[in-house]
Amino acid sequence: MLPALVAIQNQEQNRWHWRVGYSDGSGRVEWSKIRSFIISKEAVIWDRSKLANPGLAQMGHPRILFNTENMNRIRRLAQTDAGSKAALRYLCHQADAIMQKPWWRDFPATDRAAAPAQEFYRIAGDLATVCFVWRMTEDDRYAGVKSRAVTWASYPSGGRASPEGLGGDGSEDATHGNEFLALLFDWLYPVLTSNERRIMIESLEWRVDHIMNDFSWKNRNRRDKKTDRPLVRAAGMSGMISSHGYEAAMGTAVCGLALYEHSEIGRQ
């Protein structure tokens, strides 16, 4: 059964009428009851023009979840707020346990080998946990996350650390490695060397490029005959997006926030 949504606006009353139809493939469509809604004249209008210049470059790094202006205020919550104190204590226990894992002690130089048993996107998630604790506590016992994050970013495409469609662990779940890498890049940026930043930027770029131009939005292998532009996917972001395509796009969205002033791919 393929669903279709039809909405018609009554301009005089600002009322929208809608119904959903289901086709079983035989040409027969079963329609739901017609329903309607009114958009209030007092509804807040979302001014999307601000997205043309979001000011991310001026904000600098870090800027995702916390930034240089609110960092100390957030850190103080661990002393002034019971819930925040308990949350940080829990995360510290998690970070300490992560640093006892075999792959932490002997971090894999490649993602092509069978070991470690833990999926690489989960390793990236663990690295993000340790990194968050390091930034919140400023305890250099957690500083080893930086070199491991850069090594993880250095893996080329096609290995276990790659997102969906490039041979990654866990099918579509591997795409979440993009998300964790973006957080690591943003949070570690002030302590990264120029070469380490380049490694992480390039890794984020090919990941975004693959998800947006070969999976969730466009299909680079199919092109318009007149313009030679890549066609969008029928089950992609501009149509009725599939669950894997949606998950991949949402997991990759944060990469744009992290990459914005560093990469044309990030801005797109």
Span 52-83, pLDDT tens digits: 888 899 999 999 999 999 999 999 999 999 99
What lies within 8 Å, CB to CB, of 149 at 6+ separation is: 127, 131, 181, 184, 185, 188, 200
Superfamily of domain 52-267: Chondroitin AC/alginate lyase (1.50.10.100)
Helix (H) or strand (E) holding 54: none
CB 207 within 8 Å of CB 159: no
pLDDT > 90 in the chain, percent: 62
- Closest among 38, 1, 5, 39 to 23, alpha carbons compared: 1
CA distance linking residue 155 with residue 114, whole number of Å? 15
Written as six digits, the tokens of 114 are 């069978």
User: 230-232 and 218-223: which strand pairing?
Assistant: antiparallel
Q: Which of 38-52, 128-142, 144-158, 201-215 has the lowest mean pLDDT?
A: 38-52
Cα first-last separation, the chain:
35
Residue pointed to by tokens 């930027």: 201
Give, in degrees to the nearest 5, the angle at Cα 135 between 81 and 137.
50
Written as six digits, the tokens of 193 are 């060397």
Q: Where are the domains of the chain?
A: 1-40, 52-267
Q: Which of 97-106, 132-141, 246-255 has the lowest mean pLDDT?
A: 246-255
| pTM for this entry | 0.82
